[in-house]
Amino acid sequence: MLAGKGTVVLPVRVGGTEYRRPTDTTPASVLGFDQALLWVVVALLTWGLVMVYSASIAMPDNPRFASYASTHFLARHAMYITIGFVVALLAFQVPMALWERAAPWLFVLALLLLAAVLIPGLGKMVNGARRWLSIGPIGFQPSEVAKFAVLIYAADYMVRKMEVKERFFRAVLPMGAAVGIVGVLLLAEPDMGAFMVVAVIAMGILFLGGVNARMFFLIAGVLVGAFALMIASSPWRRERVFAYLDPFSEAHALGKGYQLSHSLIAIGRGEVFGVGLGGSVEKLHWLPEAHTDFLLAVIGEEFGLVGVLALIVLFLWMTRRIMHIGRQAIALDRVFSGLVAQGVAIWIGFQAFINMGVNLGALPTKGLTLPLMSFGGSAILMNLVALAVVLRVDYENKLLMRGGRV
């Protein structure tokens, strides 16, 4: 409706904010993407780069890494971030309509990659798990692609099934079967952590897409039961749970509880303000995987409670901001874009929650990295691509609100 000579008011209100077409004096920055979100991402990446260097600087003292320079992991992590930024910049250029059309093909590509990693000679075995494909000197994890592909596919699926979303067999069951296929391939690696993230992403998008609450809780119950059955039927998974319950016991302190016990020691040493950057003792060959899954423990030791709380606040703010962008897109009748953005928020938020819970001893040990911060090329790359897609959603939202077309 018209509200004066030069301004058209759009009938959109999200969180108490009214969005209007701007006048000629509107700052250009308002019409771009969410710069605050971008700067938080840059801050997390920078902090992660510093902490990866701090956590890995002593690793060449280990005979296993004797041929590595002290800056080896720093250089590789910086290279991964650079490649991630370039790929994310390209992903930002892709319109959301094209992502929507490509959703089924992305899902098929993810299935092919997950199958390829299980083929001897193609998949790389590390610590008893076959999760990596070797691309020259770089190892790539198809499970990270699967998280993004399932997210895009689930959002597209819900848009296509919007008319029948109340019917279990026509709306929910096919999506459940698709996630089940991904789960079988992931558990064959095995990578239960990635399967948990994929399942939560798909469930979250189904719920946000309007699936009946009873059906949602039925699916949740089935998944919880399935995970419980997997743990009960696997001796080494059961041992992890028992070790989590009492990591300092004589039976677990040098076994499955070793990482958790040293993570808790590191965080305990940090107290309120930490021992200072570079001052961690646990990273000196006591805490395994200090630069990957247990990076938060090193942060807790060197920056203390203050550092851990600051990190939690950054992830909470980022997750909330991404959810807001998704709600704004849905208010503009861009359901696919909105569900994609909210799916990214679920992905980043849930994985960060699991990683922090493991490091703090609140959850059983699970091999999930801290998004945007832990060492790992595949995870950094796909996290940045997912966040670039969120910024694209925000860009298109603002473009529509100023009267443009996407």
142-160 vs 335-359: helix axis angle to the nearest 10?
140
Give 376's pLDDT tier (boundaries 50, 70, 90). Answer: confident
Higher pLDDT, 113 or 176: 113
Higher pLDDT, 61 or 108: 108
**Where is average pLDDT lowest: 224-228, 240-244, 322-326?**
240-244
As a whole-number percent, the residues of the chain with pLDDT over 70 amount to: 88
Per DSSP bridges, beta strands 123-126 and 17-20 are unpaired
CB atoms within 10 A of CB 2: 8
Q: Is the pLDDT of residue 391 over 90?
A: yes
Supply the mean pLDDT for the chain. Answer: 85
Tell me how far apart the 2 most distant CA atoms of the chain are, in Å.
Answer: 78
User: What confidence tens digit (pLDDT) does each residue in 188-239 have?
Assistant: 888 888 999 999 999 899 888 877 777 777 777 877 887 778 777 777 777 7
**Cα–Cα distance for residue pair 323/304, rounded to 1 Å:** 29
Cis peptide before 190 (omega within 30 of 0): yes
**Cα–Cα distance for residue pair 173/167, rounded to 1 Å:** 9
Output the CA angle 41-44-48, nearest 5 degrees: 140
Higher pLDDT, 60 or 276: 276
Q: Quick one: pLDDT at residue 364?
A: 84
CB atoms within 10 A of CB 283: 26
Q: How many helices (H) and strands (E) does the chain have?
A: 12, 5
pLDDT, mean of residues 329-352: 95
Rounded to an integer, what is the distance from CA 147 to the centroid of its chain? 8
User: What confidence tens digit (pLDDT) does each residue in 244-256 have?
Assistant: 777 777 767 677 7
Burial classification of residue 402, based on how many CB atoms lie within 10 Å of its CB (0-12 exposed, 13-18 middle, 19 or more buried): middle
**Cα–Cα distance for residue pair 281/279, rounded to 1 Å:** 6
